[in-house]
Amino acid sequence: MNGTITHDPPPASGGGRQGAPLIVTEDAGLLDDLLRLCAAAGATPEVHHGVPEPRGSWEAAPLVLVGDDAAGRVRGAARRPGVVLVGRDQDDSGVWRRAVEIGADHVLMLPDGEQWLVDRIADVAEGVGRPALTVGVIGGRGGAGASTLACALAVTSAREGLRTLLVDADPLGGGLDVALGGETAKGLRWPAFAASHGRVGGGALEESLPELHSLRVLSWDRGDCLAVPPRAVRAVLAAARRGGGTVVVDLPRRVDDGVAEILAQLDLGLLVVPAELRAVAAAGRVASAVGMVLRDLRVAVRGPYAPGLDDREVARLLGLPLAGDVPVEPALHRPYDTGRPPGASGRGPLARFCQEFWERVLVEARAA
Would you give per-residue pLDDT tens digits along the chain (368 residues)? Answer: 555 443 333 344 333 345 689 999 999 999 999 999 998 888 899 999 999 987 778 999 999 999 999 999 999 999 999 999 999 988 898 999 999 999 999 999 999 999 889 888 888 887 766 889 999 999 999 999 999 999 999 999 999 999 999 999 999 888 898 888 888 899 999 999 988 777 787 888 899 999 999 999 999 988 888 889 999 999 899 889 988 999 999 999 999 999 999 999 999 999 999 999 999 999 999 999 999 999 999 999 998 899 989 999 999 999 999 999 998 766 545 545 445 777 777 788 999 999 999 999 999 998 87
Whether residue 345 sits in one domain with residue 249: yes
* CATH code for position 78: 3.40.50.2300
Whether residue 159 is found in the same domain as residue 116: no
Question: Do 98 and 197 have their domain in common?
Answer: no
For position 7, what pLDDT does the model report? 33
pLDDT digits (tens, 9 = 90+) for 16-44: 345 689 999 999 999 999 999 998 888 89
Tell me the C-alpha distance between 135 and 225, whole Å.
Answer: 25
pLDDT, residue 181, reads 85
Compute the 3-state secondary structure of the chain and give helix, strand, coil in percent, each to the nearest 5: 40, 15, 45
- Same-domain status, 145 and 121: no
Q: Are residues 175 and 227 in the same domain?
A: yes
356: Cβ contacts below 8 Å, ≥ 6 apart: 324
Asked if residue 99 is part of any domain, the answer here is yes
Q: Is the dihedral of CA 332, 335, 338, 341 positive or negative?
A: positive
Task: Give CA–CA dist 338/107, Å, rounded.
Answer: 59
Of the residues 99, 126, 153, the one at which a domain ends: 126
Decide which of 89, 105, 126 is a domain's last residue: 126
In order, the DSSP letters of 7-38 are: -PPPPS--SSSTT--EEE---HHHHHHHHHHH
Q: Measure the CA–CA gap between 197 and 259, rounded to whole angstroms.
A: 16
Same domain, yes or no: 144 and 204: yes
Which residue type is seen at 248?
A: V
> What is the CATH number for 224?
3.40.50.300
Burial of 256 (0-12, 13-18, 19+ CB in 10 A): exposed
Alpha-carbon distance 9 to 127, whole Å?
12
Residue 7 placed within a domain: no
Domain membership flag for residue 171: yes
**Distance from C-alpha of 208 to C-alpha of 217, rounded to nearest angstrom:** 10
* Residues 149, 221 within the same domain: yes
Q: Can you tell me the distance from the alpha carbon of 257 to that of 45, in angstroms, rounded to the nearest whole number?
A: 38
Q: Is position 214 within any domain?
A: yes
Domain assignment present for 27: yes
Residues 4 and 106 sit within 8 Å (Cβ to Cβ): yes
Same domain, residue pair 145 and 74? no
Whether residue 61 is found in the same domain as residue 170: no
Region of residue 308 (phi > 0: left; psi between -120 and 50: alpha; otherwise: beta): left
User: What is the domain count for the chain?
Assistant: 2
The answer to whether residue 362 sits within a structural domain is yes
H-helix segments, the chain? 28-40, 56-60, 95-102, 114-126, 146-159, 176-179, 202-208, 230-242, 257-263, 277-290, 311-318, 330-333, 349-367
pLDDT for 17: 45
Asked if the structure places residue 35 within a domain, the reply is yes
Do residues 188 and 65 both lie within one domain? no
Same domain, yes or no: 307 and 180: yes
Q: How far apart are CA 164 and CA 245, in angstroms?
A: 6
CB 229 within 8 A of CB 198: no
- Please report the sign of the dihedral spanned by the C-alpha atoms of residue 355, residue 358, residue 361, residue 364: negative
CB atoms within 10 A of CB 334: 11
Q: What's the rounded Cα separation, in Å, for the pair 67 and 25?
A: 5
Residue 10 half-sphere exposure toward CB, CA atoms < 13 A: 30
* 217 beta partners: 166
What phi, psi does 148 have (nearest 5°)? -65, -45
> Within this chain, do residues 226 and 357 fall inside the same structural domain, yes or no?
yes
Residue 65 bridge partners (DSSP): 23, 84
The SS3 call for residue 126 is: helix
pTM score, whole prediction: 0.74
**What number of helices (H) and strands (E) belong to the chain?**
13, 14
What would the pLDDT profile of 259-306 be if each residue is shown by its tens digit? Answer: 999 999 999 999 999 999 999 999 999 999 999 999 999 999 998 899
| Domain range enclosing 77 | 22-126
* pLDDT the model gives residue 271: 98
Distance CA 111, CA 239 (A): 24
Instruction: Say if 1 falls within a structural domain.
Output: no
Q: At which of 107, 126, 145 does a domain end?
A: 126
